[in-house]
Amino acid sequence: MIQEAIKKIVDKQDLTFDEAYQVMSEIMNGQTSPTQNAAFLAALSTKSSRSETIEEISGCAKAMRDCATLIHHPFEVMDIVGTGGDGSNSFNISTTASFVVAASGIKVAKHGNRAASSKSGTADCLEALGLPLAKTPEQNIEMLEKTNFCFCFAQSYHPSMKYVGGIRKELGIRTVFNILGPLTNPAKPSYQLLGVYDESLLEILAHTLNELGVKRAMVVYGQDKLDEISLSAPTSICELNDGQVTRYTFDPQSIGFTYCTKEDLRGGHTRRKCANHQRYFSRKNQRTKTPSCLVKCWSRPLSWW
């Protein structure tokens, strides 16, 4: 199937959901060659000036998740995650917000990996805080039950990524995999707060989450080019609610916050980001890092429960 898909994409035609699903299934099961994988990823990412289509992303995401080691749990869980790639090197806002949301009684299954474009990813930060990463599905279910939080380390739950990991690095361009990570949480969250690096992805990924069975979601883009709900500018939001997508803008000034600068949100290397977490939870936090986490834990996602 992958050869037919490459030919179709080169001819500037979109793939159907089924075609995208079949090709990604072949890739994830090692049935394609590295050359074919590279050609498919490069062709798909350059097919047009816009992103891949909802059907292409949904098909690839479902295939990738079907090939993952899934966590079969009885809970309704949330994920707070970003695509990364915004180049801001901010501290781990989503990770910190996940702890706060979990402490409020909501079960959070955080899906993430080591740093790609930043200096420290979620896995790097949690590891520096002393939390073990490679937990089994059973251990993560127990963590959810006892603490309302677990971390799904992507490397442990997506072994099939071994077929494309090296190719992605060698290509050196953004591919569909840059947005598949947040869509392929092995815990299959019913609720999601997803930050994106490009405003054009808002509606596409909101509809994609709907196709993947997510009940409610907010896909957000800080207008200062952050994949976060920003504290230094308004944020564009597409909200998914039972199949309906609504777009609006949120300004932190509307709930009493004042703008900071993007520099205020910088995190640095892993040790510094770890120290930011510790300061936050010991109340020795900095002026802007606390509000940024509070805004990320904003009342609307919490009101879903």
Binding region for 5-phospho-alpha-D-ribose 1-diphosphate? 82, 85-86, 90, 92-95, 110-118, 122
Q: Cα dihedral angle (246, 248, 253, 255), rounded to 10 degrees?
A: -20
CB atoms within 10 A of CB 8: 16
Binding residue positions for anthranilate? 82, 113, 168
Tokens matching residue 281: 């939870």
Q: How far apart (Å, rounded) are the C-alpha atoms in residues 156 and 33?
A: 23
Binding site residues, as ranges? 82, 85-86, 90, 92-95, 110-118, 122, 168, 227-228
Give dist(CA 179, CA 156) in Å, integer. 18
- Residues 245 and 203: their CA atoms lie apart, in Å, by 8
Annotated binding site for Mg(2+): 94, 227-228
The per-residue DSSP string of 96-161 comes to HHHHHHHHTT--EEEEE-S-SSSS--HHHHHHHTT------HHHHHHHHHHHSEEEEEHHHH-GGG
